């Protein structure tokens, strides 16, 4: 395996996001240059208990040229059951989440909490590695902000257990998604592993992208929040010389396509409920009046979306 591993050099990868990266969301990303994406985070215990929504997340669409599946959980037995179920599905890789800091995940001993329980993490990851029919990877957070040694111990253990690559978010569990990213710890881990390390944390624009690559010496990166409501981020990072920020008409069209796809996936009633948060993300930070986000919270039908977009374009369409 080359140093670039399962991803090409300079790959920009979309992180799995619970409640977001479904097939409609991924289709939006693909329209703007994303080539590597994941399912939503799938709970191994939900799979073990045959929760139907978990299996719905696993479906691959024709647009998914590359698709990873990310698992979360801390039960060895449930992981064994989940891996048997996954044999019926087609993925390019399976990833174990060892970095999610959300309390409802961590309090179950999963996510970032599992990333600090090395023995259990080893047992769960080994089950995945031994039963997968595709490469296996892990997404972690640094363990200690002041001492790289615990993180080094974790990543070396994962490498020895068969990880093909490891994504490292350069913040500790308690920091969630704010504060400085510890580039140095990511760099040290990269220098001490034979497998690729993918840098993650705080990539919101091209300057952040250049900084994390320079300071970690990682050629491959993973973005998450930076692409929420901004699928154009992939164009900005990968083809900066041709990039232009979307005007209000381009924004409205992408919102329309994304929400239509969401309604086709879930039905109009449920799809519009899910779409409120999506429209919020698209409108956030673009200088629009706050009343538009309030109006998005009251969308019940596609016609409500069309009315909102029509007003948005009428008000902002003549601005330079």
User: Which sequence positions are flagged as catalytic?
Assistant: 100
Q: Which helix (H) or strand (E) holds 200?
A: strand 197-200
Closest alpha carbon to 19 in 102, 95, 91? 102
Among positive and negative, which fits the CA dihedral 180, 230, 24, 304? positive
Contact partners, residue 79, CB within 8 Å, separation at least 6: 44, 71, 73, 124, 127, 128
Give the ranges where the chain is alpha helix by DSSP (H): 23-30, 44-48, 52-57, 76-86, 103-106, 118-131, 149-160, 183-192, 206-216, 233-238, 248-266, 268-283, 290-296, 302-316
- How many CA atoms lie less than 13 Å away from 162 in the CB half-sphere? 20
The token pair at 134 is 């595709």
Which letter, b or e, does each residue of 172-197 get, where b requires 16 or more Cβ atoms within 10 Å of its Cβ? bbebeeeeebbbebbbbbbeebebbb
The token pair at 218 is 């990682």
Query: 3-class DSSP state for residue 23?
Result: helix
* Number of Cβ within a 10 Å radius of residue 306: 14
């Amino acid at each position: 395996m080359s140093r670039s591993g399962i991803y090409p050099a300079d790959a920009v990868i979309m992180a799995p996001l619970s409640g977001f990266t479904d097939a409609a969301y991924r289709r939006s990303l693909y329209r703007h240059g994303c080539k590597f994406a994941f399912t939503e985070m799938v709970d191994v215990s939900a799979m073990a208990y045959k929760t139907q929504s978990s299996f719905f997340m696993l479906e691959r669409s024709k647009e998914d040229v590359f698709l990873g599946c990310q698992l979360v959980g801390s039960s060895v037995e449930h992981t064994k059951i989940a891996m048997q179920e996954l044999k019926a599905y087609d993925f390019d890789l399976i990833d174990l989440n060892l970095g999610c800091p959300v309390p409802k995940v961590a309090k179950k001993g999963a996510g970032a909490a599992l990333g600090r329980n090395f023995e259990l993490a080893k047992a769960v990851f080994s089950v995945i590695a031994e039963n997968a029919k595709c490469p296996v990877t892990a997404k972690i957070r640094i363990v200690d902000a002041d001492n790289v040694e615990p993180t080094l111990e974790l990543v070396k253990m994962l490498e020895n257990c068969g990880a093909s690559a490891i994504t490292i978010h350069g913040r500790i569990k308690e920091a969630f998604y704010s504060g400085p990213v510890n580039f140095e710890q990511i760099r040290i881990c990269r220098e001490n592993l034979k497998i690729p390390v993918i840098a993650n944390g705080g990539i919101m624009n091209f300057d952040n992208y250049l900084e994390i690559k320079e300071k970690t010496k990682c050629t491959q990166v993973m973005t998450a929040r930076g692409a929420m409501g901004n699928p154009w981020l992939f164009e900005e990072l990968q083809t900066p010389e041709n990039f232009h920020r979307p005007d209000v008409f381009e924004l409205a069209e992408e919102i329309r396509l994304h929400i239509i796809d969401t309604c086709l996936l879930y039905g109009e009633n449920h799809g519009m409920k899910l779409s409120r948060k999506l429209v919020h993300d698209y409108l956030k930070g673009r200088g629009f009046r706050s009343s538009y986000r309030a109006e998005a919270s009251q969308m019940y039908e596609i016609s409500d979306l069309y009315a909102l977009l029509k007003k948005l374009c009428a008000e902002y369409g003549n601005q330079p």
